[in-house]
Amino acid sequence: MSNRSIIIMVLVLVGATAYLLFKGDGNIDMSGEKHGAEATHVEEAKKDAPAAPAATPAAPAPAADAKK
């Protein structure tokens, strides 16, 4: 492949990526996990969700290796 074809291919891929990002909602949050006042959406989701039946207790975790 020549350098010219590689540059054209990169430009096409960048253009397609930009097109898809702009045509989408654009609500892409790349800042990572939120804590504190910024994480209010979790509490709103809990209010909107129907009450779940009581969960059964989980099975006890296996004991740690005692052959030390």
What residue segments make up the domains of the chain, in order of their start? Answer: 1-25
Q: Where are the alpha helices (DSSP H) in the chain?
A: 3-23, 41-48
Q: How far apart are CA 13 and CA 35, in angstroms?
A: 35
Most confident region among 1-5, 8-12, 41-45, 47-51 by mean pLDDT = 8-12
pLDDT surpasses 70 at 58? no
- pLDDT tens digits along 25-35: 767 777 888 77
Q: Which residue has the higher pLDDT, 51 or 11?
A: 11
Task: Report if pTM > 0.85.
Answer: no
Exposed e or buried b per residue across 26-39, where buried means at least 16 C-beta atoms within 10 angstroms of its C-beta: eeeeeeeeeeeeee
